[in-house]
Chain A
Amino acid sequence: MRRKNITPENTEFVILCFEGLDHYSLAGGLGVRVDYLSATLAEMGFPTHLFFIGDPELNGEEVRHRGKLTLHRWCQWISRYYPNGVYEGENEKLYDFNESIPWFVKDRVVKPAVAQGKLVVILGEEWQTAEAMCRLSDVLHYDGLRDKVVIFWNANNVFSFHRIDWGRLNYTTTITTVSRYMKHIMWRMGLNPLVIPNGIPKSLLQKVDDRMADEVRRALDADLILCKVARWDPDKRWNEAVEAVARLKEKGLKTVLLARGGMEPYGQEVLNNARSLGLTVIGAETKPDSSDGYLAALQEAPPADIIDIRFHVPLDFLRVVYRAADAVLANSGHEPFGIVGLEAMAAGGIAFTGGTGEDYAIPFVNSFVLETADPMEIVGYVMYLREYPEESTRIRKAGRSTARYFTWEAAVHNLISKLENQARIQGTLGGIPMPSVPQFTPAELMATIVKRHY
């Protein structure tokens, strides 16, 4: 009898990605994504294999989560020549990845799993894995295994779309992406991706220490605190944020923008623009290693309109800043998913998202959605919140509720449902499907499902 659902007993997962969880492998959000995705799958009981460009000094293979997650650190022999991180020597790594991954996955993961009667799900992330995924589909086909495997390839961003053989990728895999915004971009290319949003770890739903948030407010001693965490990139609309600060200052409000960018040279352009608008900019260079240290860095910073935070701030403290801020500006003009906005909402902050339509953002309900690039739009909403503090409280509460629907557990349930559908199309799953009930489902909805199906 064919299986009806994807369960930890009958399915193994393979994730292919360049970025990963090692410090060597982290470059942006992608590494964090696969870290949480693989860990969530493993915690749910699914045997999971994560292939990524790992630290060359660590073991090539490592098992975690009580044996459920196997890390395969790939291209280590190349990474030894390129110590500066995952994307150094990218072309060399890409070639080796494409050449070796398909055979290894087929022979060492898929074949043994299929021999045990299991379904295998292969998830590929980003353009670097596109060719390997196509080749993997081919080698599985040659060995008569392709129908036992469901292959999803995911686009997190539009980076290097021009390097992808879309015809081949679309034929050999099911293409997915992280948001409706990205889906619409890909529609224009003639593609039809499924949407499987990102998630946040459940731990981010924990309440932020309000006393700590108060300390941050006191440290900055401002009428308004704005916060922005993003790469220095024109897409992130930094200048809109900076100009909003200038307008608020003109209105006589002491406003501080906590700016955490990256290493990109565009940051200098933004900060020069800020200075030309009459804003004072200081850089906070201290590298503290504790929450008290981070707080002290803010306390010790001289008064300024913009504090350019030049050290790594761990998510724990960022959440405190999100909570403390009057607005978290996640106002990108192009934002595939918008994880910062979601993290801010989970922390009880108020997210100001951009107009690209983050799937989680409902304007005036759980966030503010900026429809334009006009800084006065930011100014208007900030002033509104200042005028109506009860609205701030309401929106913060609604934001935290929304964040519950976007945990990694929820994202994985979404993923599994779509995998099951694809598997039924392929004929790998059959029979009348049993509904997969996510853990967060409200009790009254649970009752309806139970009544209908059991």
Chain B
Amino acid sequence: MAQDLVIYAVVHQPRRIKLPAQPIPQGATPKDIEHCLFDDRLNEEYFRKVATYCYYPATEMFLELASGGLKFSIGFSVSVLRQAEAWDRKLFDLFRQLARHRNVELVNVEPYHSFLPLLDLRMFAKRMSWARHHLEKVLGKRPEVTDTTEMLMSDGIYHALDKLGFSGAFLDGRPWVMEWREPTHLYHKGKDMMLLARHYQLSDDVGYRFSNKGWWGYPLFADSYAHWLREAWGDFVVLAWDYETFGEHHSRETGIFDFMRHLPEELSKRQIVTLTPSEAIAKYRERSFYLPLPAFPCTWAGQGGMEFFLGNAAQQAVFLLMLQAYNKALLTKNQKLIDLALWLIQSDNLHLIQWFGRWGSDAEVSAYFTPREWWRLGPSGIIWEMQQVYKNFIQTLDAYT
């Protein structure tokens, strides 16, 4: 019976590309290229909306809970932090306040939420190291535990992160990764860095299914949930969610905030203790187990495999263009252009077209994330224009190679 609980939430907003694709003037400066690639007006609109429905109420709630003794961890992509700094300084300060709380552990995150761990492990390691310093500078705490993008983990990613000196990393505890093992223990892959396996079922009960009236567990109350947590076999449960779960994916009206506010009391009744990831690592390090990691990356998205991001022809085509864009940018040796290429390889750009050629709940999730303004282009138009964004960038690099 698990007696400890690790809660982790990651805050991220994508830097949406501009659709339809804006033609880039020949010889444009990196600044002008940037203006053509990304839709800042749309990003600001979405950011402010999510801030109203989620970031403000959720952060206020978590601050309350932290002050009441709940321990948890939080990660911020640089993508969302930059947006907060630019468009809502008050919210940015609130994020900082939360990150600095004594009961909150700051977790490192792949800064641009990009697919760098798949494309270039060496650059990925550099960027993760940079992110660690950046988060320390901006939020005032040095992360010791790390996440990646969409909780990507593989054998190669593990070694890259271990070399950076992180004490722990998250991975999604899917059956095909864990095999016969429970996700409720601490793991490692032969090196110093520990692995915290997300309990995907219990996490998705809140993150994914909370407001689903067709789910057998609906409506979910804090006492039932706390009971399920207590009944889990093993040492501790890791719950990991998108921060946007609270207020955005599940609106206030679903009762998600009330649920969370009642949860600490229900946990306490069942002697479940919340720990930060570092505390869990310290407590269970001596009892950690070896976990062979797959060569194929696993993720917390979809069914846990890369098919969520690369399962359809449209995603595969855009991924190829991402590779071309990134590698050609490297050839220019121009840091600003490389930076733009890193933005272009955000995982969101494949997440947003996961619906292509599909139907059902997975497709609905990603269709939900696709900006509604894009739908006037039609499904094929979205794919075409998205590809055009990459092609325009690739062509524009001619002036710099």
CB neighbours (8 Å) of A384 from chain B are none
CB neighbours (8 Å) of A293 from chain B are none
Q: How far apart sit A78 and B27, CA to CA, in the bound complex (Å)?
A: 10
Contact of A81 with B22 in the complex, beta carbons under 8 Å = no
A364 at the interface (CB under 8 A from B): no
Contact of B22 with A99 in the complex, beta carbons under 8 Å = yes
Contact with B along A72-94 (1 / 0, CB 8 A): 00000110011000000101100
Contact with A along B91-113 (1 / 0, CB 8 A): 00000000000000000000000
CB neighbours (8 Å) of A89 from chain B are 25-26
B32 at the interface (CB under 8 A from A): yes
Our count of residue pairs bridging A and B at CB distance below 8 angstroms stands at 20
Q: How far apart sit A288 and B26, CA to CA, in the bound complex (Å)?
A: 36
> Which chain A residue shows the least CB distance to B24?
A92
CB neighbours (8 Å) of B25 from chain A are 78, 81-82, 89, 92
B23 at the interface (CB under 8 A from A): yes
Within 8 A of A (CB), among B1-33: 20, 22-28, 32
CB neighbours (8 Å) of B23 from chain A are 91-92, 95
> Which chain A residue shows the least CB distance to B39?
A99
Closest chain-A Cβ to B197's Cβ sits at a distance in Å of 46
> Which chain A residue shows the least CB distance to B26?
A81
In which size bucket is the chain B interface?
A: under 10
Closest chain-B Cβ to A81's Cβ sits at a distance in Å of 4
> Which chain A residue shows the least CB distance to B392?
A92
Contact with A along B39-65 (1 / 0, CB 8 A): 000000000000000000000000000
> Which chain B residue shows the least CB distance to A95?
B22
Q: How far apart sit A422 and B23, CA to CA, in the bound complex (Å)?
A: 37
Closest chain-A Cβ to B385's Cβ sits at a distance in Å of 12
Closest chain-B Cβ to A21's Cβ sits at a distance in Å of 23
A214 at the interface (CB under 8 A from B): no
Q: How far apart sit A323 and B278, CA to CA, in the bound complex (Å)?
A: 94
A96 at the interface (CB under 8 A from B): yes
Q: How far apart sit A96 and B20, CA to CA, in the bound complex (Å)?
A: 11
Closest chain-B Cβ to A207's Cβ sits at a distance in Å of 48
Report the count of interface residues on A (CB-CB < 8 A): 10
Closest chain-A Cβ to B16's Cβ sits at a distance in Å of 14
> Which chain B residue shows the least CB distance to A92?
B23
* Of A77, A82, A96, the contact of B22 (CB 8 Å cutoff): A96
Within 8 A of B (CB), among A44-98: 77-78, 81-82, 89, 91-92, 95-96
> Which chain A residue shows the least CB distance to B27?
A81
CB neighbours (8 Å) of B20 from chain A are 95
Q: How far apart sit A91 and B388, CA to CA, in the bound complex (Å)?
A: 14
Closest chain-A Cβ to B142's Cβ sits at a distance in Å of 41
Q: How far apart sit A92 and B20, CA to CA, in the bound complex (Å)?
A: 12
Q: How far apart sit A137 and B325, CA to CA, in the bound complex (Å)?
A: 37
Closest chain-B Cβ to A203's Cβ sits at a distance in Å of 38
CB neighbours (8 Å) of B28 from chain A are 81
Within 8 A of A (CB), among B349-368: none
Within 8 A of B (CB), among A80-135: 81-82, 89, 91-92, 95-96, 99
CB neighbours (8 Å) of B24 from chain A are 92
Q: How far apart sit A349 and B26, CA to CA, in the bound complex (Å)?
A: 47
CB neighbours (8 Å) of B27 from chain A are 81
Closest chain-B Cβ to A131's Cβ sits at a distance in Å of 11
Interface centre among B22, B24, B25 (most CB of A within 10 A): B25
Q: How far apart sit A96 and B23, CA to CA, in the bound complex (Å)?
A: 9
Q: How far apart sit A187 and B26, CA to CA, in the bound complex (Å)?
A: 40
CB neighbours (8 Å) of A92 from chain B are 22-25
CB neighbours (8 Å) of B22 from chain A are 92, 95-96, 99
Closest chain-A Cβ to B31's Cβ sits at a distance in Å of 9
Closest chain-B Cβ to A249's Cβ sits at a distance in Å of 49
CB neighbours (8 Å) of A96 from chain B are 22
CB neighbours (8 Å) of B26 from chain A are 81-82, 89
> Which chain B residue shows the least CB distance to A96?
B22
Contact with A along B184-199 (1 / 0, CB 8 A): 0000000000000000
Q: How far apart sit A365 and B153, CA to CA, in the bound complex (Å)?
A: 87
Closest chain-B Cβ to A136's Cβ sits at a distance in Å of 16
CB neighbours (8 Å) of A95 from chain B are 20, 22-23
Closest chain-A Cβ to B3's Cβ sits at a distance in Å of 55
Closest chain-B Cβ to A194's Cβ sits at a distance in Å of 30
Within 8 A of B (CB), among A430-446: none
CB neighbours (8 Å) of A81 from chain B are 25-28
> Which chain B residue shows the least CB distance to A75?
B25
Q: How far apart sit A99 and B25, CA to CA, in the bound complex (Å)?
A: 15
Q: How far apart sit A91 and B24, CA to CA, in the bound complex (Å)?
A: 9
CB neighbours (8 Å) of B32 from chain A are 77
Q: How far apart sit A89 and B32, CA to CA, in the bound complex (Å)?
A: 14
Interface centre among B22, B23, B24, B26 (most CB of A within 10 A): B23
Q: How far apart sit A388 and B115, CA to CA, in the bound complex (Å)?
A: 85
CB neighbours (8 Å) of A91 from chain B are 23
> Which chain A residue shows the least CB distance to B399?
A81
Closest chain-B Cβ to A75's Cβ sits at a distance in Å of 10
CB neighbours (8 Å) of A78 from chain B are 25
Closest chain-A Cβ to B40's Cβ sits at a distance in Å of 11
Closest chain-A Cβ to B399's Cβ sits at a distance in Å of 10
Q: How far apart sit A374 and B173, CA to CA, in the bound complex (Å)?
A: 86
Within 8 A of A (CB), among B205-227: none
> Which chain B residue shows the least CB distance to A82?
B25
> Which chain B residue shows the least CB distance to A99?
B22
Q: How far apart sit A77 and B31, CA to CA, in the bound complex (Å)?
A: 11
> Which chain A residue shows the least CB distance to B20?
A95
Closest chain-B Cβ to A58's Cβ sits at a distance in Å of 19
Q: How far apart sit A355 and B23, CA to CA, in the bound complex (Å)?
A: 42
Q: How far apart sit A357 and B27, CA to CA, in the bound complex (Å)?
A: 47
CB neighbours (8 Å) of A82 from chain B are 25-26
> Which chain B residue shows the least CB distance to A79?
B25
Closest chain-A Cβ to B67's Cβ sits at a distance in Å of 42
Q: How far apart sit A82 and B25, CA to CA, in the bound complex (Å)?
A: 8
Q: How far apart sit A99 and B27, CA to CA, in the bound complex (Å)?
A: 21
> Which chain A residue shows the least CB distance to B31?
A77
Q: How far apart sit A91 and B395, CA to CA, in the bound complex (Å)?
A: 15
Q: How far apart sit A96 and B24, CA to CA, in the bound complex (Å)?
A: 10
CB neighbours (8 Å) of A99 from chain B are 22
Q: How far apart sit A33 and B129, CA to CA, in the bound complex (Å)?
A: 60
Closest chain-A Cβ to B294's Cβ sits at a distance in Å of 44
Closest chain-B Cβ to A296's Cβ sits at a distance in Å of 42
Within 8 A of B (CB), among A6-24: none
> Which chain B residue shows the least CB distance to A103?
B41
Closest chain-A Cβ to B38's Cβ sits at a distance in Å of 13
Q: How far apart sit A78 and B22, CA to CA, in the bound complex (Å)?
A: 12
Closest chain-A Cβ to B187's Cβ sits at a distance in Å of 50
User: Which residues on A are within 8 Å of B, measured CB to CB?
Assistant: 77-78, 81-82, 89, 91-92, 95-96, 99
Closest 4 CB pairs of A and B: A81-B25, A92-B23, A91-B23, A95-B22
Contacts A82-B26, A89-B25, A95-B23 aside, 6 further interface pairs with beta carbons under 8 A come to A81-B27, A81-B28, A89-B26, A92-B23, A92-B25, A99-B22
Pull 10 A–B residue pairs with CB atoms less than 8 Å apart, ordered by A: A78-B25, A81-B26, A81-B27, A82-B26, A91-B23, A92-B23, A92-B24, A92-B25, A95-B22, A99-B22
